[in-house]
Amino acid sequence: MSTVAVPSPVPTPSDDAESLKKALQGNASRWRADKGALIEILCRRTAAQRAAIRRAYVFLQREHLLNCFRDNLSRHCQLSVDFWKAMLLWTMDPAERDANLVHEALKRQKDENYILVLIEVSCASTPDHLMAVRSFYRDLFGCSVEEDVASSRALQEPLKKMLVSLVSSYRYAGEHVDMDVAKLEAAQLSEAVREKQLQGNEVARIISTRSKSQLTATFQCYKEEHGTDIVEDINSHCKGRFARMLKSAVWCLTSPEKHFAEVIRHSVLGLGTYEDMLTRVIVSRAEIDMKQIKEEYKATYKSSVIGDVAGDTSFSYRNMLLALVGSESEEPDDVPSPGAKTSCKCAIMHGV
């Protein structure tokens, strides 16, 4: 469920475009954009409304809004670079945004936190959205996602093979489930997990081809048969990068709120913030399932997303993220003051 609070009535795209131009001009004597106005306009609009604003901006101003953001990003110091990167990603078409995130991830794929982007986009998306991402990727970068993943020198087998299968998949999006298949494939997955043979072809085939409804049924059969969740068993029986990525794929396919709550927790825990991780989760999920992510986060970590984000970020970047995260049920006293941190950064994600 979306956490974007759209005003009523909504200004016309032309009015918003004019307001954005004024906000970008800001205080002419100091060359600073009015970031608060940018947040108030763009972070209170849906993807369709933002697309209409971009078109109106080009028509009225004879320049692209995203290029204006890139110009600001290129000339600002570290103090505001996170804000401009977040604003640029948020204002993009969602499929264009994910194509750019995937491309950036493939340049930094030695870091597991960036490999996760490939899994998130391929497994937590609808089949049609993934197709749109692949189309944007071809148009923007002159090659296919599959080609770039397959030709990567940093990725090793069997993870590379699974990632190629995931990014090239097109799953059935309906609700039909074959329970006989679910039981059979639950048994195949159980054997692979308990024999520590996750790299087999059957695991990759099941995870990369079955519909989300079918996989939900399969994982339910697994739990009924063994009394434990498949993710619990992966954690118990298997170690290494492939196992951690498989766990993320399972969650993104059937319980994405669990995965994204964990990513947010990892990005804000301790001293310092993994801004790229935090930005990508909030801007990519604000219109999809941020409400469920906040609920999962509170249930798992006994604290709130809004409180932890507020305590670990600052200035306009903080204000933008909080506008997208939306309100929480906690009283204001539960929100820590800006700059509050916990004592140490721990690598909690997937047991890293």
Domain boundaries, the chain: 13-75, 94-168, 179-254, 264-325
Cβ–Cβ under 8 Å, residues 286 and 321: no
Yes or no: say if 84 and 76 are a contact pair by the CB < 8 Å rule.
yes
Note the pLDDT tens digit of each residue in 137-157: 999 999 999 999 999 988 889
Question: Which residues in 187-331 belong to E strands, given as ranges?
Answer: none
Confidence band of 339 (pLDDT split at 50, 70, 90): very low
What's the pLDDT at 341?
40
CATH topology agreement for domains 94-168 and 264-325: yes
Residue 77: pLDDT over 60:
no
Q: State the pLDDT confidence band at 37, using cuts at 50, 70 and 90.
A: very high
Residues sharing a CB contact under 8 Å with residue 206, sequence separation 6 or more, in sequence order: 185, 188, 189, 215, 218
Q: Which residues of 47-65 are buried (b: 16+ CB within 10 A; e: fewer)?
A: bebbbbbbebbeeeeeeeb
Domain 264-325 has CATH 2.40.10.500: no
Per-residue model confidence (pLDDT) at position 334: 42
- Across the chain, what does the average pLDDT equal? 89
Provide DSSP, 19-77: HHHHHHH-BTTTTB--HHHHHHHHTTS-HHHHHHHHHHHHHHHSS-HHHHHHHHHHHS-
Closest-CA residue to 302 (of 330, 278, 326): 330
Written out in words, the top-level CATH class of the domain with range 94-168 is mainly alpha
The rounded distance, in Å, linking the Cα atoms of 1 and 204 is: 30
Question: 47, 94 in Cβ contact below 8 A?
Answer: yes
CATH topology classification for 13-75:
Annexin V; domain 1 (1.10.220)
The secondary structure of residue 157, as a DSSP letter, is T
pLDDT at 48: 97
Rg (CA), the chain: 21
CATH architecture assignment, domain 179-254? Orthogonal Bundle (1.10)
Q: What angle do CA 343, 346, 351 make, to 5 degrees?
A: 155
